[in-house]
Structure 1
Amino acid sequence: MATAPIEPPQRLVSSLSGDPDSPARQWLQALPTLVQQRLDAWELTLERVHAPGGRSSLLALVRQQDGTPAALKIPVPGRRSAHEAAALEIWDGWGAVRLLRSDEESGALLLERLQGAVSLRSLPEAKALLEAAGTVRRLWVAPAADHPFETLAGRAEEAVEALRTAGALVRSAGPLVDEARELGRTLPAGSDERFLLHGAFRQGKVLAGERAPWLAVGPYPVVGERAYDLAALVLDRFEDLMAGSGAAAAVRRRVAKLADSLEVDRERLRHWTLYRAVDTGVREAAVGDRRRGELLLEFAAWL
C-alpha cells in the first residue's frame, strides 16, 4: 500500500499540458487515483514513481505481496498503448520484458523489474548496435491469423496524410516529403512478410535485466516486414554518425551492415529508413526540435 502522495513526473505533466478538457488531461488528473486502485487491487507496495519517466505513461517501482520487485505501468489511454499487453503476452519474456498482470479497463501493466537507468545507449555504438540487432531478431515472430494488431499498411497510410500536412510547414523539405509519401504508399505492398514488430524499437527501449542481459520495453506493435523495425536502428544515435568524417558513406555502410546481419533486403531497408527519417524529421522541424528535425532530413538526403 502507498504511504506517500502519488505525484506524476514533471515530464509527463508537461507533455500533456494542452487543453485542460482533453481526455489526456482528464486522465492525468485522475492518475493518482488510478495508481492507488491498481496498488490495492494487485496488493502492491509502492516504492517510488520512476522519474523523469516517459511522456506517455507513468511507471512506478513496486513490490509484490511476496516481496518480489516489479514495475507498474499506467499508459495514457489511446491506440498506441492498446495492444502492448497482447504483444508482451506473445513474446512471453523472449527478448522483451515479461508481463506479469494486466488490466484491460485501465491499460495498467505489471511488468518484471528491469534496470531502468541502464539501456543499450550506455554501450559503445558498435556494441550497442550488435546487441540491439540480436534483441530485435527475437521479437520477430509470426502472429496468429486473428491477431489484434494494426498492419504496417494501415499505419503507413495514416502517416502519409499526416506527413503531407506537416510537410507543408517545412517547405524546404518538399522533394524529400514527396519521396517519403510515395514510399509510404508503395512499400507496404511490396513485401509478403508478416511479422509481429516492436514498432518503436531503438537502443533506449532495450534495458538491462537479471533474467537476460537485455530486454525490450515499450512496444508499439504492428504487423509487417522486418525492415520497418530495423530502420529505427539505422537512425539510432544518428547525430553521432553525422558528426564523424565521411558521414554519408558511414550511413550507407550502416544500412548494409544491419541488412546483411539480419538477412533483410538492403534496398528495402534503405527506403524504410528514408521514410522514417523524413517522417520524424518533418514532425520535429514543424512542432518540436527544429535543429534535430533538420539533421534528420539531411540524414535522409544521404540515403
Structure 2
Amino acid sequence: MSVLHDFGPSIPAAFRELVQGRPAEPAISGDDWLAHLPAQVAELADEWDLVADGRVWHGVCAVVIPCHRGNEPVVLKVSWPHEEARLEHLALQAWAGQGAVRLIAADPARWAMLLEPLVHDRNLDAPELLEACEVIGGLMRRLDRPATPQFTRLSHELDRWIPLCQNGSPLVPRRLTEQAASLLADLRDGCDGRLIHQDLHFQNVLAAEREPWLAIDPKPLSGEWAFAVAPVLWNRWDEASAAYNVRTHLRLRLGVVSEAAGIDEDRALAWSFVRMVTNAIWETQERAPDKDALSRWITIAKAMTD
C-alpha cells in the first residue's frame, strides 16, 4: 500500500512538534489538523493519481511528499492553514515557473498543491554569500510583475504596524520604535502594486533541473520589492555575527541584493529597518521571548541606521 494511504506514521516527528499545540487558525487547531492530515493526503492521492516514491520532508508549516503521477515526477505539498499561505497558489500561478517553482495543480480548500520536484537539500546556504545575494536579487527582478487585487496590500499592513511602533516595548530602544513609526508613515506612498515574495531568503531558493535556482514558499503580498530584502539580512546569521564589522557586512548584503534586483537601496534600507523593529516588538510579546532572536532583530535594526 502506498505511504499516501497510510500516511500517519510517515509524518516527520519534528513537524509534529512544530504543529502540535498551535491554536485554531483559521478554524482548526494544530492537533486536529494533524489528526485529519493522513485522510486528507489519501484523498488527494486518489484525486490526483499519486504514488509516493521518496522520503517525506517538511518546512515550518508544510509537509512535502515526493511522488509520481504516471511517468511524471511531482511533489505534493500540504500546508498548515495560515494566512501567509492562503494565496500561495495564485502567486505561483502568476509566475508560471519563471523564477519560481512550477505549479501543476492546486486545491486551495485543502491547502494543497502539486508542484514540480526540486532538489530540496540544495539551497543558497551553500554558495558563497555575495553570490547567493546576487541570485536572490536576480530572482526578485524576474518575479516582478503587477499584483492582482486578491493579494493583501502592504499599505494595509502599515495600519497595524504604525501603532505597534508608536506603542513600542520596554525591551526595544525607544529611539528605534519612534524612528520606525515615522519611517512607516513616509514609506506608505508608492508601497503597493507589485507581486512580491516577502520571505525570499537563502533557504527558500532551491536548485532545479530546468534552471539553476528557483524560489519557493512565496508568502505573497502586493507591495514593493524594497520591502522584501530584509530576510536576506537575518538568515545565514552565523556569518553576519562572525563578521569583523556587522554593520558593514549587512549593508553589503543589502547593497548587492538591491543592485541585482534594480531596486532603490535607500528604500530597502528603510524597510529593512522597520521590519527588524516590528520583529523585535513582536518577539517581546511572545509568552517566552527568544532573547537571541530579540538581540538579532535589534542588532540588524541598529546596523540599518546611520
Deviations 1:219-278 (A, max 9, x none): 110011110112322443244123211222233333333333333222211110111222
1:282–1:297 CA contact under 8 A, matched in 2: no
Q: What is the correspondence of 1:1-303 to structure 2 with a 5 Å cutoff?
A: 2-3=2-3, 4-6=6-8, 7-18=10-21, 23-25=28-30, 26-48=32-54, 50-51=56-57, 53-64=58-69, 66-144=70-148, 147-160=149-162, 167-168=168-169, 171-187=171-187, 189-191=188-190, 194-284=193-283, 286-287=285-286, 288-303=289-304
* Alpha-carbon separation, structure 1, partners of 2:244 and 2:227: 27
Structure 1 residue ranges without an equivalent (≥5): none
Structure 1 distance, partners of 2:62, 2:244, is: 39
Equivalent residue pairs, number: 296
Contact 2:77/2:113 (CA < 8 Å) preserved in 1? yes
Alignment deviations for residues 67-107 of structure 1 (CA, whole Å, 9 cap, x no partner): 32211111112322111111101100000000001113212
Residues 20 and 274 (structure 1), Cα distance of their counterparts in 2 relative to 1, 3 Å cut: closer
Other structure's SS at 1:118 match:
strand
User: Normalised by the size of structure 2, how large is the TM-score?
Assistant: 0.87
1:186/1:10 Cα in 2 relative to 1: closer, same or farther (>3 Å)?
Answer: farther
After superposition, the Cα gap between the structure-2 partners of 1:156 and 1:9, relative to the gap in structure 1 and judged at 3 Å, is farther
Q: Secondary structure at the match of 1:105?
A: helix
- Partners of 2:172 and 2:280 within 8 A in 1: no
Deviation at 1:214, TM superposition (A): 0.4
Q: Distance in 2 between matches of 1:284 and 1:264?
A: 29
Q: Is 2:11–2:56's contact at 8 Å kept on the other side of the alignment?
A: no
- Cα gap change, 1:76 to 1:256, in 2 (>3 Å): same
TM superposition score normalised by structure 1: 0.88
Give unpaired runs (5+ residues) of structure 2. Answer: none
